[in-house]
Each structure stands twice: as structure tokens, then as C-alpha cells.
Amino acid sequence: MGHFCVNCGTALVPRVLEGREVEACPRDGFILWHDPKVSTAVVVEAEGGIVLGRRAIEPGYGRWCLPGGFVNDDEDPAVAAVRECREEICVPVELTGLIGVYHIPKADAPSMVGIAYKGRLVDGSVPAAGVEMLEVAVFPPESLPQLAFPSHTKVVADYLRSLAPAEEAAPPPDRAAAQRAARP
């Protein structure tokens, strides 16, 4: 698909800038930067496990996912995460921590920067399916279904790893490095 200059309407052409190919206007130098979209995901803790929704929309129709979605231009990512939980699982959620920030490469769409939070239900609220979900359920960590997106699988793995006691979460010691450091 061809793109056009927002200033003068001229068709953009490929140009190498800072070592990468971009689309640029040959008349006024406008550059079309292909920036990633920003999205959120929330691991919502509930009694008995974490809240997941089964998607009523594409991509991933019928598959399970974390609540979350795109951050609007005028929105703080944490506010977007809470909003998405209200829309998708119909409950107020309190964010209790940051799980991580993830690059989500895409071949057929702009890549994404995903911001994953840990949260909990507010005041004993009960999740229900919003318009983008077929159903909502709480799953114990040992019985999670396959998730719709690899990024959600990574977020849940990082979340579960963060719950492990420190000695379990720490990488095994590098014995060779320890021996080298102990030499006089």
C-alpha cells in the first residue's frame, strides 16, 4: 500500500535513514516512521487463580487471553489497563505491580510494545464477560488453558516465576565463574 506525504500529498518513496529503510517525501523531506502500537495486559488475581477471558473477536476468536488492549493516544498505560479490565471482564481492578514490558513483533501489522501488570479484583467483585469476551473464568495456575497470544503466554510465565520463592527463581550458580573469582 502506498503512503502519501501529510504535508503536500506527494507519494512517499523508500529512503535509507540512520541505517534503515523508511518512507520519505521526495519534495519536502517528511518521514513516515512506523512506530509500534502500545498495548496492556493484566494478570488479574482472584481467589483460586487468575482471570482469563475467551475472546469473542479476532484475532484469536474463541481462545483464552488476559484482559487488556490498546492504549489510547491521550491515556496513561495503567489507566488503559484498568479501563480494558472494566470493558472485557466487567470489574474494577486495582493494579498491584508491573510484570514487564515486552516487544511484540508483527509481520502483518505494526509491532507492539506490551506493558503487563499484576492486579486484583476490587471489593470482591465477580468477573463477567464484556462484549469482547464469550466467557470469563478463573483458572488455577496449574490448570491454565492454551492462550491466544504468545505474548500472553510469556507474561503469565513471568508472573508465575515472580511468585516462586527467591531460591527457585534465581538462576543456578555458574560454578566455573565462582572458581575463577576465588583464585588469588
The per-residue pLDDT for range 142-152, each reduced to its tens digit, is: 999 999 999 99
3-state class of 144 per DSSP?
Answer: coil
Same domain, 19 and 107: no
The per-residue pLDDT for range 164-173, each reduced to its tens digit, is: 876 554 555 6
Per-residue pLDDT for 183 more than 70? no
The number of folded domains in the chain is: 2
- The three cell numbers of residue 1 are 500500500
Same domain, 49 and 79: yes
CATH of the domain at 15: 2.20.70
Q: At 150, which helix (H) or strand (E)?
A: helix 150-163
What is the residue range of 113's domain?
A: 37-167
pLDDT of residue 172: 59
